[in-house]
Amino acid sequence: MKVCIDTNVLLQARAATHPFGLILDAFVFGQMQWAVSNPIMQEYCEIITQRCGQLAWDALSQLLQNLETRGVLEQIVPHYQFQIIVTDPDANKFTDCAISAQADYVITSDHHFAPLANAGYKPQPITPEAFIERYRGVYL
User: Is 69 exposed, middle or buried (CB count within 10 Å of its CB: 0-12, 13-18, 19+)?
Assistant: exposed
User: pLDDT band at 18, cuts 50/70/90?
Assistant: very high
- pLDDT on residue 28: 93
HEC per residue, 50-71: HHHCHHHHHHHHHHHHHHHHCC
Rounded mean pLDDT, 35-46: 98
Q: Which helix H or strand E contains 126, and what residues bound it?
A: strand 124-126
Rounded mean pLDDT, 107-113: 96
Contact 89, 110 (CB under 8 A): no
User: pLDDT band at 139, cuts 50/70/90?
Assistant: confident
CB atoms within 10 A of CB 74: 16
Contact 11, 47 (CB under 8 A): yes
Flag whether the pTM goes above 0.85. Answer: yes
The class of domain 2-135 in CATH terms is alpha beta
- pLDDT on residue 140: 78
- Whole-angstrom Cα distance, residue 70 to residue 130? 27
Rounded mean pLDDT, 68-79: 96
For the cut 90, the answer to whether the pLDDT of residue 6 exceeds it is yes
